């Protein structure tokens, strides 16, 4: 096993002392260390503290009870690589060309090593930064090119498995199966153990540190190990709120998604075992995270370490009869868990219902809490969550809507832009019919009401709000007259039949 290490270089010429200023008005005791843990493809309703579904996550529940959890955290682009690049850079993926994953589709740009990353700001101010787990930021460079001092990725785990378990082979593809590898050597727990070793090393140096621990789980294919493989009986798995969707009056691409995955004839009896494995892998991930959190306690670093947990995006896993997360912007894939445990949280255990962007809002939040500034104050597109965490004053009203985007993946290009408020969701599909969901009456997003005349006012309002937000965020999609005419000028079909 090789952990790649390097020196993190400076990304701007501003002296460190000049940058260590922001956020002081909100500070309690500043944390010395930052532990950022992410899951891959984890829905908000599949963590125990959400009280939505019977998924057991006792360690995440305790983490939430000791900090603040956000019930309306959203991914800006629910695809692995663009989302992860956005987290490091602090801007929407479209602004630097990361439209979809850089593998498994048409060639696409990714975040350049000379781009801004908040991890460099930490490194420039004395933090030792370690990265473990899933990468997804660049096909050509690892984390040491983006401000981290060390990097341990999935390739190292794959080599470990090939050496120790050469006869293990899987046969059920993306639908998942039991993992014969013992729990202690499963990917979740292997990375947890490496993280524990790294925490001990970092603590021994006596300097502030930041660790990014990015788990691959519960991304499909779901292959839980040991006791987690049978933790959930498929017969006890409830249907998703959005499962019974006929897809009537919805974009063609959603029907095609079912065909592309070969699940168009699946019943709940087919889906329930897949969902049971998804649940099991989530609980297995929770167990691995519990090991890491116990290591913080054991090394005496828990009190001065800010711990953050979130996910890059969610998963369909049978909801609306679909697999994976592509070509849709249902809450199943854009709504994610977000927990922040920090001494400055006003009320431990609080659930914040405000709309937040998990990956866009985290960079300004971290820098604010640590008393550091980004090189260019106007670069970051998110907002610091400190006022929501600590009860500090808001300099301007908090957002009452979120915008998410999608551009395509392995089945081809498909552009989507979404705006979601408390009661409504509008999805602009430039090459298909649009979607409008009345979330108060239809939380499962089953009925597309975009063509109903009674909703024309809210439809026009949401289109205008979406346009202004995309324009403000530098989304080139709305920079030409044809797209402006479609979104704002009424040149858009709202049903299958243009005559209706």
CATH code (residue 194): 3.40.720.10
pLDDT in tens, 98-136: 999 998 778 999 999 999 999 999 999 999 999 999 999
- How large is the average pLDDT for residues 23-40? 76
Does residue 264 belong to any structural domain of this protein? yes
Does residue 204 belong to any structural domain of this protein? yes
pLDDT in tens, 249-289: 999 999 999 999 999 999 999 999 999 999 999 999 999 99
Does residue 189 belong to any structural domain of this protein? yes
Quickly state the pLDDT bin for 10 (edges 50, 70, 90): very low
| SS3 label, residue 166 | coil
Does residue 403 belong to any structural domain of this protein? no
Identify which of 489, 476, 259, 374 has the alpha carbon closest to the alpha carbon of residue 23.
374
Structural domain for 128, as ranges: 27-390
Number of domains into which the chain is organized:
2
pLDDT in tens, 444-464: 999 999 999 999 999 999 999
From 357, 390, 423, the end of a domain falls on 390
Identify which of 52, 87, 61 has the alpha carbon closest to the alpha carbon of residue 312.
87
Question: What is the structure's pLDDT at 497?
Answer: 53
pLDDT at residue 329 above 90? yes
Question: What is the structure's pLDDT at 324?
Answer: 97
Does residue 104 belong to any structural domain of this protein? yes
In terms of domains, do 77 and 174 share one? yes
Quickly state the pLDDT bin for 5 (edges 50, 70, 90): low
Contact 128, 149 (CB under 8 A): yes
pLDDT at residue 377 above 80? no
Does residue 337 belong to any structural domain of this protein? yes
* Mean pLDDT estimate for the chain: 93
Contact 386, 369 (CB under 8 A): yes
Question: What is the structure's pLDDT at 283?
Answer: 99
Long-range contacts of 201-209 (CB under 8 A, 24+ apart): 202/33, 202/128, 202/130, 203/299, 203/300, 203/301, 205/128, 207/126, 207/127, 207/128, 208/32, 208/33, 208/126, 208/127, 208/128, 209/32, 209/33, 209/34, 209/127, 209/128, 209/129, 209/130
In terms of domains, do 78 and 130 share one? yes
Question: What is the structure's pLDDT at 498?
Answer: 43
In terms of domains, do 440 and 379 share one? no
- How large is the average pLDDT for residues 181-210? 97
In terms of domains, do 469 and 357 share one? no
pLDDT in tens, 393-405: 788 899 999 999 9
- Percent pLDDT > 90 in the chain is 87
In terms of domains, do 355 and 428 share one? no
In terms of domains, do 360 and 464 share one? no
Q: Which residues contact 25 (CB under 8 A, 6 or more apart)?
A: 392
Does residue 14 belong to any structural domain of this protein? no
In terms of domains, do 433 and 367 share one? no
In terms of domains, do 72 and 171 share one? yes
pLDDT in tens, 91-101: 999 999 999 99
Q: What are phi and psi of 90, to 5 degrees?
A: 80, 15
In terms of domains, do 235 and 304 share one? yes
């Amino acid at each position: 096993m090789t952990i790649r290490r390097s020196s993190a270089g400076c990304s701007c010429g501003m002296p460190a002392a000049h940058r260590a200023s922001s956020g002081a008005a909100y500070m309690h005791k500043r944390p010395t260390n930052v532990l950022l843990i992410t899951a891959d493809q984890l829905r908000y309703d599949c963590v125990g503290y959400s009280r939505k579904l019977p998924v057991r996550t006792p360690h995440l529940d305790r983490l939430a009870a000791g900090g603040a959890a956000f019930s309306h955290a959203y991914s800006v682009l629910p695809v692995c690589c663009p989302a992860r690049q956005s987290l490091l850079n602090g801007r929407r993926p479209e602004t630097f060309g990361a439209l979809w994953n850089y593998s498994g589709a048409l060639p696409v740009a990714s975040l350049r090593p000379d781009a801004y990353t908040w991890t460099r700001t930490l490194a420039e101010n004395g933090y030792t930064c370690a990265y473990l787990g899933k990468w997804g930021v660049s096909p050509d460079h690892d984390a040491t090119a983006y401000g981290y001092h060390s990097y341990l990725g999935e390739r190292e785990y794959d080599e470990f498995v090939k050496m120790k378990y050469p006869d293990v082979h899987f046969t059920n593809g993306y639908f998942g199966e039991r993992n014969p590898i013992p729990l202690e050597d499963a990917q979740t727990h292997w990375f947890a153990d490496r993280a524990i070793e790294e925490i001990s090393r970092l603590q021994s140096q006596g300097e502030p540190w930041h660790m990014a621990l990015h788990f691959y789980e519960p991304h499909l294919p779901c292959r839980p190990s040991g006791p987690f493989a049978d933790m959930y009986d498929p017969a006890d798995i409830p249907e998703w709120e959005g499962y019974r969707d006929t897809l009537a009056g919805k974009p063609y691409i959603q029907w095609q998604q079912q065909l592309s995955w070969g699940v168009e004839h699946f019943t709940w009896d087919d889906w329930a075992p897949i969902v049971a494995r998804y649940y099991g892998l989530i609980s297995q991930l929770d167990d691995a995270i519990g090991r890491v959190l116990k290591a913080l306690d054991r090394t005496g670093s828990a009190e001065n370490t800010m711990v953050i947990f979130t996910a890059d995006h969610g998963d369909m896993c049978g909801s609306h009869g679909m697999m994976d997360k592509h070509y849709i912007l249902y809450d199943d894939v854009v709504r994610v868990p977000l927990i922040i445990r920090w001494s400055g949280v006003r009320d431990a255990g609080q659930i914040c219902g405000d709309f937040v962007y998990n990956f866009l809002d985290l960079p300004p939040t971290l820098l604010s809490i640590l008393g550091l500034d980004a090189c260019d104050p106007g670069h970051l597109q998110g907002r610091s969550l400190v006022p929501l965490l600590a009860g500090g004053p808001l300099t301007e009203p908090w957002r009452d809507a979120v915008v998410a985007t999608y551009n395509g993946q392995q089945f081809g290009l498909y552009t989507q832009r979404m705006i979601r408020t408390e009661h409504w969701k509008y999805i602009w599909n430039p090459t298909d019919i649009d979607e409008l969901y009345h979330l108060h009456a239809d939380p499962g997003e089953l009925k597309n009401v975009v063509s109903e005349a009674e909703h024309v006012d809210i439809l026009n309002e949401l289109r205008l709000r979406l346009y202004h937000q995309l324009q403000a965020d530098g989304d080139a999609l709305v920079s030409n007259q044809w797209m402006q005419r479609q979104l704002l000028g009424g040149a858009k079909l709202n049903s299958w039949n243009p005559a209706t």
